[in-house]
Amino acid sequence: MIPLMNGLGFRVAGSLILLLLVISGCQAQQDQRDFEANAISPPSGITVTDIHGVTPEGATDPDDWRSSPFYSGIIDISPARPNPVLSTEEVVIELYMDLDTRVSRIQAVVLHDNGETPPLDDISGAPLPPGRHELRFPASSLTRTVSPQGLFRVLIYDGDWQIISYGDIEVE
């Protein structure tokens, strides 16, 4: 016969469970901080897509368009399309939101080398309904100069400025 736990045993087991929850919560916060640090690094490579969002095999940048740890499994991001993009074209980024999402705003910004983050597009609601949403903006809005060619880092935030995703777009 297995002896039943006494009050002390329950308190110890409860304390261990609480400790595990705190540790996993701390790890999730550290994972988010690491993700955010990567997000504000300089752009480096792209996930190639056509106008329909099709990516040729081997043309994926594994660092681009991932959901942050806080939004993993809640909001999925499709790579920007087309990429590379002509300066006269429009960029589209699709998001798929889970039923349990409590997000009321999603905003795309471009990260310039001086730290400025001009807005590109946003979606607002109270809260946003589940399903597919699109961020759209002209490729020419990625730059501060007359010549819009180059590689640009796009950041996607929620209404509380919590980063959801990021990726790089090449303007030709």
Q: Which amino acid is at 56?
A: P
Angstrom distance (rounded) from CA 89 to CA 127: 30
**Distance from the first to the final alpha carbon of the chain:** 75
Q: Answer for the pair 35, 163: CB distance below 8 angstroms, yes or no.
A: yes
Angstrom distance (rounded) from CA 17 to CA 48: 45
The pLDDT profile of the chain, 172 residues, written as one tens digit per residue, is 455 555 555 454 444 454 444 455 577 789 889 999 999 999 999 999 999 999 999 899 999 999 999 999 999 999 999 999 999 999 999 999 987 778 899 999 999 988 889 999 999 988 889 999 999 999 999 987 777 789 999 999 999 999 999 999 999 9
Q: What is the pLDDT of residue 5?
A: 52
Angstrom distance (rounded) from CA 30 to CA 24: 10
Neighbouring residues of 25: CB distance < 8 A, sequence distance ≥ 6: none
